[in-house]
Amino acid sequence: MTTEALRTPEERFAMLPGLPYSPSFIEELPGYKGPKDAEVTFLCLHGEPTWSYLYRKMLPVFTAAGHRVIAPDLFGFGRSDKPVDDATYTFDFHRNSLLRFVERLDLTNIALVCQDWGGILGLTRPVDMQPRFSRMLIMNTALPVGEPVSPGFAAWKGFAAN
């Protein structure tokens, strides 16, 4: 199934400070920094309303230590494509996209670095893909356990949606 999406023009990012990395899109697959054969791959998942730019100061630290770092923009954020139909933006859409992303890049020995929504999505992956994950750095997030969200969180979601 093809999803109609828009891409933010690259010139919108021209004056962005502190991010000397060029974007790579999954079609080309070079979307990583550091050696492909590094012992550990840091998979950095951002939350809302940010994007991979959040990790701009961590990326050089991880790569200087010899690790591979992948910091994708989730659909709808930063330099990623933005699906046109709002109904596309579901938990399952993002979660399944992340699954396919990890499989497509054949990531192993993953150190999951997650924050906010990146944790809500990302923390479901080590359960389903246990052999691929070796460690986690978890910041400012929650572990989805299948229970309804709190009234405060539901109110925030409504505010963010509108």
pTM flag (> 0.75): yes
Can you give the pLDDT at residue 32?
40
**Residue 28: what pLDDT?**
38
**Distance (Å) of CA 40 to CA 68, 132, 134, 140:** 6, 11, 8, 23
What is the per-residue pLDDT for 134? 96
pLDDT of residue 34: 59
Whole-angstrom distance, CA of residue 112 vs CA of residue 125: 9
pLDDT under 70 in the chain at which residues? Answer: 1-5, 24-35
Per-residue pLDDT of 24-57, as tens digits, reads 665 533 334 556 777 899 999 999 889 999 999 9
Q: How many CB atoms lie within 10 A of CB 133?
A: 21
pLDDT at 70: 93
Helix (H, G, I), strand (E, B) or coil at 150: coil
Q: Say which CATH superfamily domain 18-143 falls into.
A: Alpha/Beta hydrolase fold, catalytic domain (3.40.50.1820)
Domain ranges of the chain: 18-143
